[in-house]
Structure 1
Amino acid sequence: MANIVNYIQDTYHELAHKVSWPTWTELQNNTIIVVIGSVIFSLLIFVMDFIFGINPSTYFWKGVLGLIYP
């Protein structure tokens, strides 16, 4: 039981005193970068799905799942 208490105390000390946490400004900037990257990546996936999902006989968009499951 003493080992568990020692582990929790060491973990708290490590997180409270040794970890360098980002500032609020750095956190906001990194969040904006992640959101922009996610939007760009999702748009690329949508464009690929749109291009590969067009049925040539009807020119109706069914998406990639429409090609897999006719």
Structure 2
Amino acid sequence: MKIIKSFINYCKGCYEELAHKVTWPTYKELTQSAVVVLSASLIIAVVVWLMDVAFKAVMSAVYPN
């Protein structure tokens, strides 16, 4: 019974923290953060793609078919 009671207390504490202590972002902040993440992801994807193209060109020059 002690384990169940401690688990219930843990769940109550989690709820209290999420409901009353956490500062949730506004819609504007969330949108701005999403744009930053998407932009960074796109830039990283392009950089990786360029590296892949360059590596393929080098390998084709070193090991021609």
Which TM-score band applies after superposition, normalised by the shorter structure?
A: 0.7 to 0.9
Greater RCO between the two (CA within 8 Å, min separation 6)? 1
- Give runs of ≥4 in structure 1 deviating > 2 Å: none
Tell me the number of residue pairs that the alignment of Structure 1 and Structure 2 aligns.
Answer: 58
Q: Could you tell me the TM-score, scaled by structure 1's length?
A: 0.78
Higher strand share: 1
Matched residues, percent identical?
34
Query: Aligned equivalents of 1:42 and 1:9: distance in 2?
Result: 42
Higher helix share: 2
Structure 1: 5+ residue runs without aligned partners?
Answer: 59-70
Q: Could you tell me the TM-score, scaled by structure 2's length?
A: 0.84
